[in-house]
Amino acid sequence: MNNLPNLTQILLNTFQTLIDQFVSFMPRLVGALVILLIGWLVAKLVALVVRRVLSRVGFDKIGDKLNEIDIIKQLKTEIKLSEIVAVVLYYFILLVFITAATETLGVAAITSMVLSLVNFIPQLVAAAIMLQIGVLVADALKRAVISVCQSFNIASGRLLGMVVFFFFLIITVISALGQAGINTELLESSFNLLIGGVIFAFAVGYGIASRDVMANMLSSFYSKNKFREGQTIQIDDVKGSIMQIDNTSLTLKTGDSTTIFPLQALQSKKVEVFD
């Protein structure tokens, strides 16, 4: 019976240890709370000052250019860069003080997690700047393509402009994600496959659509020395005088009317030359 442990003494020692740990932890907890309070006040003050300064120096004009982009208008949102910068700076300062507070508490796991967030914010800011510049460049390229197509009277200019816009935007997004430290190998592979498929489909479709044009151009190369303007010829049952020969067609003056033949007809049909 004398060998049995003294349960009362064990309980007293346990409670004493807990009380001692709590008493030693309280100053650290109070210090951490004070640091958090100071950090919150500093973050609010700095964010307020930065927001007002950027707003007064016209920093939001860049955001106004972004708001004019069609895709931003469709999102029905307004980008105000001064507020975005102020919010990012607020949380960055707050996280720095949270890191100091967790170090005061002595909780290594929380400190490591907060430090990783603090280190991630500069990468996120760089990615956001890259994305913003990319969107502006993509929109400028789209407008340039549309303007060029309009000057050449190309009906599908707006469609081509949107294709260029989204092509450059996707490249920018992938680059921004890589800058933020996100693995983009899968996205890059998928994008390359997509672009390759689109180019192949375009090449096949364009080749089929331009088959006759290429045939006419080749016929022009082989026939340009055999025929001349003013010459009288007969193609099948149509007889007339050659009015014009260009790279793809031949125009015959047949009485009171004119007949236009594709140049490949000179190779595939019976042609009689009278002079």
Residue 270 is given by DSSP the state: -
1: pLDDT strictly greater than 80: no
Backbone angles phi and psi of 75, in degrees to 5: -75, -10
The arithmetic mean of pLDDT across residues 138-154, rounded, is 81
* Dist. CA 220–CA 217, nearest whole Å: 5
The arithmetic mean of pLDDT across residues 65-87, rounded, is 76
Grouping H, G, I as helix, E, B as strand and the rest as coil, residue 76 is: coil
Query: Angle at Cα 171 formed by Cα 167 and Cα 175, nearest 5°?
Result: 170
166: pLDDT strictly greater than 80: yes
The arithmetic mean of pLDDT across residues 261-273, rounded, is 73
What b/e string do you get for 218-241 counting C-beta neighbours within 10 Å, with b at 16 or more? ebbeebeeeeeeeeebbbeeeebb
* Dist. CA 116–CA 112, nearest whole Å: 6
The answer, as to whether pTM is greater than 0.75, is no
Q: Are 275 and 231 in contact, with CB atoms under 8 Å apart?
A: yes
Q: Give the tens place of pLDDT for each residue, 208-250.
A: 555 555 555 555 555 656 777 777 877 777 888 878 877 667 7
251: pLDDT strictly greater than 80: yes
* Dist. CA 190–CA 53, nearest whole Å: 43
Non-local CB neighbours of 13 within 8 Å, separated by 6+ positions? none
